A = this chain, B = another copy of it.
Amino acid sequence: MPETDPSLEPFFSPAGVAVVGASHDPTKLGYGLSRNLVQSGYRGAIHFVNIHNGSLMGLPVYPNLAEVPDPVDLAVLLIPAAGIPEALRECARRGIHAAIIAAGGFRETDSDGAALEAECLKLAREHGLRLLGPNCIGLLDTHLPLDTTFLSPPGPTPGDVAFVSHSGAICAAVIDWARGQGFGLSRLVSLGNQADVNETDMLVQVSTDPYTHVLTLYLEGVSDGRRFVEQARRVSLEKPVVALKVGRFESSQRAVASHTGALAGSEDAFNAAFRRAGVIRAETTEELFDWARALAWCPLPGGRSVAVLTNAGGPGVTAVDSLETHGLRLAQLSVETQASLKEMLPPAASLTNPVDMLAGASPQQYAACLRILLGAPEVDSAMVILPPPPMHTAGGIAKAIIPVIFTSQKPVVVALMGERLIQEAVEHFRAAHVPEYRFPERAATALAILAQRAEYLTAERTGQADAIQWLEGMKREAVGVFLEGREPGWLSQEQVFQVLAAYGIPTLQIRLAASAAQAANLAGEMGYPVVLKIAAPQVAHKSDYGGVLLDLRDRRAVVNGYKTVVDNSRKAWPGAENEGVYVQRMVAEGQEVIIGAIQDADFGPVVMFGSGGVEVEGLKDVQFSLAPPSREETEAMLENTWAGKKLHGYRNLPPADRPAVKDALLRLAQLAVDFPQLAEIEINPLRVLEEGMGAVAIDARARLGR
Q: Whose C-beta in chain B lies nearest to the C-beta of A619?
A: B642
- Whether a CB of chain B sits under 8 angstroms from the CB of A574 is no
Contacts of A286 in B (CB 8 A): 438-439, 441-442
Complex: how many Å from CA A169 to CA B389? 8
Shortest C-beta distance, A426 to chain B (Å), equals: 10
| Contact indicator B418/A249 (Cβ below 8 Å) | no
| Contact indicator B387/A170 (Cβ below 8 Å) | yes
Binds B, one of A60-68, A174-182, A676-684: A174-182
Complex: how many Å from CA A218 to CA B322? 15
- Whether a CB of chain B sits under 8 angstroms from the CB of A608 is no
Complex: how many Å from CA A151 to CA B172? 39
- Whether a CB of chain B sits under 8 angstroms from the CB of A458 is no
Shortest C-beta distance, A594 to chain B (Å), equals: 15
- Chain A residues 398 to 421 lying within 8 A of chain B, measured CB to CB, are 417-421
Interface centre among A169, A317, A419 (most CB of B within 10 A): A169
- Whether a CB of chain B sits under 8 angstroms from the CB of A318 is yes
Interface centre among A165, A325, A417 (most CB of B within 10 A): A417
Identical subunits present: 2
- A314-B387 in contact given A177-B417, A286-B441, A422-B176 (Cβ < 8 Å): no
Interface centre among A244, A314, A325, A652 (most CB of B within 10 A): A314
Complex: how many Å from CA A283 to CA B440? 12
Contacts of A348 in B (CB 8 A): 104-105, 109-110
- A418-B652 in contact given A151-B388, A315-B167, A317-B247 (Cβ < 8 Å): no
Please tell me which one of the listed residues B105, B152, B544 contacts residue A652 in the complex, with CB atoms under 8 A apart: B544
Shortest C-beta distance, A330 to chain B (Å), equals: 9
Binds B, one of A510-518, A596-604, A643-651: A643-651
Contacts of A173 in B (CB 8 A): 315, 387-388, 417-418, 439
- A359-B169 in contact given A418-B176, A418-B177, A652-B544 (Cβ < 8 Å): yes
| Contact indicator B441/A313 (Cβ below 8 Å) | no
- Whether a CB of chain B sits under 8 angstroms from the CB of A187 is no
Please tell me which one of the listed residues B320, B387, B651 contacts residue A169 in the complex, with CB atoms under 8 A apart: B387
| Contact indicator A249/B324 (Cβ below 8 Å) | yes
- Whether a CB of chain B sits under 8 angstroms from the CB of A693 is no
Complex: how many Å from CA A422 to CA B175? 12
| Contact indicator B170/A321 (Cβ below 8 Å) | no
Contacts of A317 in B (CB 8 A): 167, 220, 246-247, 250
Shortest C-beta distance, A348 to chain B (Å), equals: 5
Shortest C-beta distance, A59 to chain B (Å), equals: 23
| Contact indicator B417/A321 (Cβ below 8 Å) | no
- Whether a CB of chain B sits under 8 angstroms from the CB of A311 is yes
- A388-B312 in contact given A177-B417, A621-B619 (Cβ < 8 Å): no
Shortest C-beta distance, A169 to chain B (Å), equals: 3
A136-167 interface bits toward B, Cβ cutoff 8 Å, 1 = contact, 0 = none: 00000000000000111010000000000111
- Whether a CB of chain B sits under 8 angstroms from the CB of A58 is no
Please tell me which one of the listed residues B179, B320, B544 contacts residue A249 in the complex, with CB atoms under 8 A apart: B320
| Contact indicator A438/B177 (Cβ below 8 Å) | yes
- Whether a CB of chain B sits under 8 angstroms from the CB of A543 is yes
| Contact indicator B168/A314 (Cβ below 8 Å) | yes
- Whether a CB of chain B sits under 8 angstroms from the CB of A615 is yes
Contacts of A119 in B (CB 8 A): none
Contacts of A358 in B (CB 8 A): 104
Contacts of A105 in B (CB 8 A): 348
Q: Whose C-beta in chain B lies nearest to the C-beta of A267?
A: B321
- Whether a CB of chain B sits under 8 angstroms from the CB of A462 is no
- Whether a CB of chain B sits under 8 angstroms from the CB of A335 is no
Shortest C-beta distance, A699 to chain B (Å), equals: 15
Contacts of A325 in B (CB 8 A): 248
- A29-B247 in contact given A179-B420, A651-B541 (Cβ < 8 Å): no
| Contact indicator A388/B152 (Cβ below 8 Å) | yes
- Whether a CB of chain B sits under 8 angstroms from the CB of A545 is yes
| Contact indicator B541/A439 (Cβ below 8 Å) | no
- Whether a CB of chain B sits under 8 angstroms from the CB of A108 is yes
- Whether a CB of chain B sits under 8 angstroms from the CB of A27 is yes
Complex: how many Å from CA A342 to CA B388? 52
Q: Whose C-beta in chain B lies nearest to the C-beta of A284?
A: B441
Shortest C-beta distance, A444 to chain B (Å), equals: 10
| Contact indicator B248/A321 (Cβ below 8 Å) | yes
Q: Whose C-beta in chain B lies nearest to the C-beta of A646?
A: B618
- Whether a CB of chain B sits under 8 angstroms from the CB of A481 is no
Complex: how many Å from CA A618 to CA B646? 8
Shortest C-beta distance, A693 to chain B (Å), equals: 20
Contacts of A652 in B (CB 8 A): 541, 543-545, 614
- A314-B650 in contact given A177-B417, A420-B179, A441-B285 (Cβ < 8 Å): no
- A544-B387 in contact given A104-B348, A312-B169 (Cβ < 8 Å): no
Please tell me which one of the listed residues B109, B246, B619 contacts residue A619 in the complex, with CB atoms under 8 A apart: B619
A422-439 interface bits toward B, Cβ cutoff 8 Å, 1 = contact, 0 = none: 100000000000000011
- Whether a CB of chain B sits under 8 angstroms from the CB of A255 is no
Contacts of A651 in B (CB 8 A): 541, 543-544, 614
Shortest C-beta distance, A347 to chain B (Å), equals: 8
| Contact indicator B29/A390 (Cβ below 8 Å) | yes
Please tell me which one of the listed residues B108, B177, B321 contacts residue A247 in the complex, with CB atoms under 8 A apart: B321
Contacts of A285 in B (CB 8 A): 318, 438-439, 441
| Contact indicator A615/B646 (Cβ below 8 Å) | yes
Please tell me which one of the listed residues B220, B321, B614 contacts residue A246 in the complex, with CB atoms under 8 A apart: B321
Contacts of A615 in B (CB 8 A): 642, 646, 650
- Chain A residues 171 to 221 lying within 8 A of chain B, measured CB to CB, are 172-173, 176-181, 218, 220
Contacts of A545 in B (CB 8 A): 652
Shortest C-beta distance, A33 to chain B (Å), equals: 11
Shortest C-beta distance, A495 to chain B (Å), equals: 25
* Those 7 A-B pairs whose CB atoms lie nearest each other, nearest first: A167-B314, A169-B312, A180-B419, A173-B417, A176-B418, A544-B652, A284-B441
A-B pairs with beta carbons under 8 Å apart, 19 shown: A108-B313, A151-B388, A154-B420, A167-B313, A167-B317, A169-B312, A172-B387, A176-B388, A176-B417, A176-B421, A177-B417, A246-B321, A247-B320, A250-B317, A284-B441, A544-B651, A545-B652, A614-B651, A615-B646
Give me 10 other A-B pairs in contact (C-beta within 8 A), A104-B359, A105-B348 excluded.
Answer: A168-B312, A173-B387, A177-B418, A180-B419, A246-B314, A247-B321, A250-B317, A285-B441, A543-B651, A614-B652
